[in-house]
Chains A and B, each alone.
Chain A
């Protein structure tokens, strides 16, 4: 018989869990490396706090304005803003942040009711929820100072609204948790996030596009009526109804909010019940029905036969990793997309620079510099995604010169593809640059890429940092690798810029091309010589690499 005399009550369990989280935070800070995280956290808290206070002022002013203009029902807009914030912010936070494994508490003797209440209670501890409640408090304060007669209604509505939001947020959170537990959906989530962020850049060109001007902008006020059943609109209708003494509308709004609360609570109870029963979230290699033993030939990846076996092997491996790394794959799509964006914004007759749109001669070197900056960045930590596989390179009878050459050749092929695509887009949208500028820039690009690869290989071996596919949090290079990349890009970019402009200053348009031919030959020789030194460096840095990447 176990010695558990009495299961602690819900309040005691909540206290225990809160204490546990506090201890975890405190112990995390005790580690030396995490002190910087603490400083970062303090800064984030300060900025977060300022943001919340600033927005609170906005909510206060908005509420006062609606009351004074005789439109108390329009507070629905503010409820809507809080609703969107409360529901969307935690989803992104969950996608990028390490979350406390709430379900791990299930191994303790805990009733389903306690589990539900704890889960709901967690919803109030999120930054998003705290900020939203501050904003609601600002609205209440505005009501108290401007329309105290509405305070009772506003209080009741706010309470219901908070409960609806926290329940919905926990419900969505539990579904997001279920989805993000799987690698593929996690990667799709990140891809969608990055795409949505990139697509935001096109809002301005879209709004200012002649097509939209012709057909007229969408009338958002017309759409609002379709959303009258949503929590924000219902909350607004209660306040508006009480203000106009239209008790029917107010009661309908309150009933609607109550319906939301009951329905969402039932759904959340079901979700938590599934977790309580021991829902398996993570991916497992459960046995699958034996696939048909088709002995069809599986492609070995089209290994380039003219290359040494190890170099070709590394190139094929890099290609396969790229196709399975949604984030890296996107990083290939984004640069040409951004080039199109820059061309729409700054090039040609529709330029945001009005009559001073950039010419192809100016745009081409800038575009090449941008692409090289973006595309070569991963080369400074080229072992980031190897994980435990890094040991394979040290166990196999290969030199690191071959490994790095394979990685560099693969990256070069990508850079070439991207540059060709961007040049094609440039010619299509803006026409050809002049021949001396075109050749000079291309030669400058070759010089810069070779120079950067030589430095990047050294950086990859000297300052490795592990990254994981399908995660965004903490996915950045080591500080030294970032500084190395920054310094190399400034140095080589600076040299290229000075030489390119030297052609203009000396009125000799072919001067940059001639200079870059010599520099490129020197860079090639330097790159080749540096490659030879990589074997020794890899041997020196072996333990660092294995320890850092296998962690």
Chain B
């Protein structure tokens, strides 16, 4: 069995003349909690879509759990779970019906699907609303349902695109606990988030994408070591991120021009 959960070689995606992702070489070890960061429009969602089969790369290779993605499409998909951007829910099913549907799509038998749906609805605090249509769920509830659907088949890699967006603090706590437990059991989690505090707290390894290119990759300690700092000072992920993507204090000077706001 491969120790590398996700490996890409020169992964590239263009949209007409725009290169959204350019020559990315990612390596994520099995069991890692991996944070994938970048400013808006950097190429995070495009990368995650390629890694989950929602978007074909223009060039490059992807291997998941040692299997070439293109030639083992179904086998790879069987082993991954995804919460995509927009969540990909069928809004005219109830929460329970959606989990039943997903369970069947992953080939789970009826009894297992039922049992897991029960447990997941309970865990996600959706059991009271299991008969409510997804269309009538709040954004946070939809997010929790999408996460439940992503794990119902027990994936070995979990891809999460902004999983904590719109989720209340209580549910976020439960989700973090669930994700932590999954990594302990060897599941690889690949997560994108704009909330750097969450990434810093949860992730052991991080990659940063900027303008379609991978500009940093490694453990938090390795990233810290890569940027200049005063001795003894422990840089936060936010500081590392801003330092790498090149924030130069321009925002501050622009703010100073808006004197009428204060």
What is A's interface to B at a CB cutoff of 8 Å? 3, 183, 283-285, 288, 290-291, 293, 295, 297-298, 300-301, 303, 309-310, 312-313, 316-317, 320-321, 324-325, 385-399, 469, 539, 542-543, 546, 550
Contacts of A398 in B (CB 8 A): 74, 105
A310 touches B104 (CB 8 A): yes
B260 touches A3 (CB 8 A): yes
Name B129-159 residues within 8 Å CB distance of A.
Answer: 129-133, 135-138, 141, 149
Interface membership of chain B positions 81-112, coded 1 if the CB is closer than 8 angstroms to chain A and 0 otherwise: 01010111111110011001110111111100
* Interchain nearest-CB distance for A491 vs B (Å): 33
A300 touches B113 (CB 8 A): yes
* Interchain nearest-CB distance for A119 vs B (Å): 29
Bound complex: CA A539 to CA B89 (Å): 20
Contacts of A469 in B (CB 8 A): 92
B104 touches A539 (CB 8 A): no
Bound complex: CA A396 to CA B88 (Å): 11
Bound complex: CA A542 to CA B130 (Å): 31
Contacts of A542 in B (CB 8 A): 54-56
B88 touches A312 (CB 8 A): no
A183 touches B135 (CB 8 A): yes
Bound complex: CA A320 to CA B87 (Å): 20
A309 with B128: in contact, given A388-B88, A395-B84 (CB under 8 Å)? Answer: no
* Interchain nearest-CB distance for B238 vs A (Å): 31
A543 with B56: in contact, given A309-B104, A325-B92, A395-B82 (CB under 8 Å)? Answer: yes
Bound complex: CA A385 to CA B129 (Å): 23
B184 CB-CB contact with A under 8 Å? no
Contacts of A393 in B (CB 8 A): 105
A301 with B97: in contact, given A285-B137, A395-B53 (CB under 8 Å)? Answer: yes
B61 CB-CB contact with A under 8 Å? no
Q: A313-B104, A385-B92, A392-B149 are in contact. List 10 more A-B contacts (CB 8 A).
A: A285-B138, A298-B96, A300-B100, A320-B92, A324-B133, A387-B90, A387-B91, A389-B90, A392-B101, A543-B56
Bound complex: CA A398 to CA B108 (Å): 12
* Interchain nearest-CB distance for A382 vs B (Å): 14
Bound complex: CA A142 to CA B127 (Å): 69
Contacts of A288 in B (CB 8 A): 128-129
Interface membership of chain B positions 190-234, coded 1 if the CB is closer than 8 angstroms to chain A and 0 otherwise: 000000000000000000000000000000000000000000000
Contacts of A317 in B (CB 8 A): 90, 93, 97, 101
B165 CB-CB contact with A under 8 Å? no
Bound complex: CA A399 to CA B80 (Å): 16
Bound complex: CA A493 to CA B55 (Å): 39
B136 touches A396 (CB 8 A): no
B114 CB-CB contact with A under 8 Å? yes
The chain A residue sitting closest to B96, CB to CB, is A298
B78 CB-CB contact with A under 8 Å? yes
B92 touches A397 (CB 8 A): no
Candidates B80, B84, B92, B96; contact of A321 at CB < 8 Å: B92
B235 CB-CB contact with A under 8 Å? no
A324 touches B92 (CB 8 A): yes
The chain B residue sitting closest to A399, CB to CB, is B74
* Interchain nearest-CB distance for B74 vs A (Å): 4
B77 CB-CB contact with A under 8 Å? yes
A285 touches B132 (CB 8 A): yes
A310 with B92: in contact, given A288-B129, A388-B87 (CB under 8 Å)? Answer: no
* Interchain nearest-CB distance for B141 vs A (Å): 6
B12 CB-CB contact with A under 8 Å? no
Contacts of A316 in B (CB 8 A): 100-101, 104
* Interchain nearest-CB distance for B115 vs A (Å): 11
Contacts of B149 in A (CB 8 A): 392
CB pairs A–B below 8 angstroms (27 shown): A183-B136, A284-B138, A285-B136, A285-B138, A288-B128, A293-B127, A293-B128, A295-B118, A300-B113, A309-B105, A309-B109, A310-B105, A310-B107, A313-B100, A316-B100, A317-B90, A320-B93, A321-B93, A389-B90, A390-B88, A392-B101, A395-B54, A395-B77, A397-B107, A542-B54, A542-B55, A550-B86
